Amino acid sequence: MYIESLEKLINSFRSLPGVGYKTAQRYAYSILNSDNEVAKQFAQNILDAKSKIKFCEECGNFSETDVCENCLKKSKDVICVVKEPKDVVAMEKVKNFDGVFHVLHGTISPLEGKGPNDIRIKELLARIQKYDTKEVIMATNPDVEGDATAMYISKILTPLGVKVTRLAQGVSMGSELEFADEVTLTRAMESRIKI
């Protein structure tokens, strides 16, 4: 039986990443079974998030203010550069880093027609000059695009006297060597450290 408003809700849920029809249906039924107030709040939270959240003018991360709290309060001596806002969430868990971030909103990817001018590299340079930043940690993904972007930025910044570092690549904690891929093992071998 076709119920128009139900199908529309299911379709909205299907637009979320990794959600197929069955999951979307489950979500929609759970909305129908929830209190009116809860459902209203859900809808309101979507509208609020969309209208209140913009990009921080400095770091490019999500923020409710023009410049985010991080950028207002923290030292800019070290800037950690990531691809997307969600990578900030991951890197914020790192215990021994408490500096600011810089979100590139993409990586250099010739295949997708994305060059250095399509991502926030200019803004990174401006920040480094403004705050006299000492070190830039490249925390782009350990893939071809992430590596290329890190290399590119390193080539620009090193002549300016900025130290550019890259997250170490190696075997993950708790993983088993047996299942590690060749590239990962090769990198881990190259980057081996004295104990």
Could you write out the DSSP letters of every residue in 42-60?
HHHHHHHHHHH-EE-TTT-
User: Which of 61/107 has CB closer to its own copies?
Assistant: 61
User: Which of 29/143 has CB closer to its own copies?
Assistant: 29
Q: Which amino acid, one-letter code, is at 106?
A: G
Least distance from its own copies to the Cβ atom of residue 10, Å:
9
Q: Which amino acid, one-letter code, is at 145?
A: E
86 binds its own copies (CB under 8 A): yes
Q: What angle do CA 102, 127, 166 make, to 5 degrees?
A: 45
How far from each other are the two terminal CA atoms of the chain, in whole angstroms? 67
Buried b (16+ CB within 10 A) or exposed e, 161-187: ebebebbeebeeeeeeeeeeeeebeeb
Least distance from its own copies to the Cβ atom of residue 17, Å:
5
User: Which of 64/77 has CB closer to its own copies?
Assistant: 64
64 binds its own copies (CB under 8 A): yes
Closest CA to 106 of 126, 92, 124, 127: 124
Window 163-192: residues binding its own copies (CB under 8 A)? none
Say which DSSP state 114 is in. Answer: B
92 binds its own copies (CB under 8 A): yes
Least distance from its own copies to the Cβ atom of residue 105, Å:
10
Window 2-61: residues binding its own copies (CB under 8 A)? 2-6, 8-9, 11-12, 15-18, 23, 25-32, 34, 36, 38-50, 52-53, 61
Cβ-Cβ contacts under 8 Å for 24 (sequence gap 6 or more): 10, 11, 12, 13, 14, 16
69 binds its own copies (CB under 8 A): yes
User: Which of 85/146 has CB closer to its own copies?
Assistant: 85
Q: Of 67, 89, 185, 189, which one interacts with its own copies (CB under 8 A)?
A: 89
Closest CA to 104 of 149, 49, 156: 149
Give residues in contact with its own copies (CB under 8 A). 1-6, 8-9, 11-12, 15-18, 23, 25-32, 34, 36, 38-50, 52-53, 61-64, 68-70, 85-86, 88-89, 92
